[in-house]
Amino acid sequence: MPTTPKDNSALFLPAAIVIAGVLIGGGLYYGLSKSGSAAQGGTQPTVAVDIKDVKTDGSPYIGNANAKVVLAYWSDFQCPFCKAVDIGGIPQIPIEPAFPVLIKDYVNTGKIRVIFKDFAFLGEDSTTAALYGRAVWALYPDKYYEWREEMFKSQDEENGGFGDETSIVALIKRISGMDAAKVKANVAANREKYQSAIDADRAEGGKFGINGTPGFITGKTSIPGAAEIASFRSAIDPQL
């Protein structure tokens, strides 16, 4: 009695889906590793920029207020590429963090001022962190950068647990000279004002072609993604 050949096509479909998923995921990671966390998976287009057109009043900053060179930095506290640039420690993004060198060679020597801009787009925790950043700057400007670095040191997987209000308040309690309850109350009292400023920062970044994080502008140069120190030097040094 002849046997009917088995139709195995159904077995190949799941495998094809898995393979396609791996290829797509790998391609997406490769793209993001080159350009940073990009909104909607896009890349940052080339747009003519000038630091003179960037609004700097009221934004947190480090460095000499009258420094000759200004570097504007759009970031999201949930962004691993921002962490890679600020402090490093991301195995999947094997670059030397640029900020320790920028601070030692440029900020501490009075050569540049770094302006911090919000580009909170990765979720609710991104917005919460940005709101707290505004309050920390308003109450403890001399502690802002210390707080900022502690935020990145505590960063876990994107929206993976750290970054909600409870965890940020707990972090602030560990920083000497800061009153966590006071910061929390400031956020509550100024939430609408701070949110407007956060939204304005992101809209401004978009105007300059920044659609993901990190993104930088200095002089007439845009530096997209998790750039290494050489990219910053080549943009900053000619201005000095």
Whether the Cβ atoms of residue 32 and residue 81 lie closer than 8 Å to each other: yes
Residue 21: Cβ within 10 Å count? 10
Q: Distances from the Cα of 120 to the Cαs of 52, 72, 168, in angstroms? A: 23, 15, 16
How far is residue 115's CA from residue 65's CA, in Å, rounded to a whole number?
A: 10
Spell out the domains of the chain, with CATH numbers in brackets.
40-239 (3.40.30.10)
Task: Look at phi and psi of residue 159 and say left if phi exceeds 0, alpha if psi is from -120 to 50, else beta.
Answer: left
- Rounded to whole angstroms, the Cα distance separating 206 from 213 reads 11
Predicted local confidence at residue 42, as pLDDT: 38
Dihedral sign (CA 215, 120, 38, 158)? positive
The total number of residues shown for the chain amounts to 240
Other beta carbons within 10 angstroms of residue 216's beta carbon come to 25
H helix count then E strand count, the chain? 8, 7
Residue 60 neighbours by CB under 8 Å, 6+ apart: 115, 116, 133, 137, 141, 144, 148
In the predicted model, what is the mean pLDDT of the chain?
84
pLDDT at 15 over 70: no
95: which strand partners? none
Confidence of residue 144 (pLDDT cuts 50, 70, 90): very high
What span, in angstroms and rounded, lies between the C-alpha atoms of 130 and 123? 11
| Residue pLDDT, tens place only, 53-112 | 999 999 999 999 999 999 999 999 999 999 999 999 899 999 999 999 999 999 999 999
Could you tell me the pLDDT band of residue 44, with boundaries at 50, 70 and 90?
A: low
Full strand arrangement of the beta sheet holding 221-224? 61-63, 112-118, 69-75, 215-218, 221-224
pLDDT at 18 over 90: no
Closest CA to 150 of 177, 121, 120, 115: 177
Q: What is the dihedral of CA 139, 149, 74, 216, to 10 degrees?
A: 130
pLDDT digits (tens, 9 = 90+) for 100-134: 999 999 999 999 999 999 999 999 999 999 999 99
Specify the amino acid at residue 54: V
pLDDT at residue 239 above 50? yes
Q: Which two tokens stand for residue 66?
A: 């009258």
First-to-final CA distance of the chain: 89
Asked whether 155 and 163 are in contact (CB, 8 A), the reply is: yes
Pull the structure tokens for residue 4. Answer: 């009917």
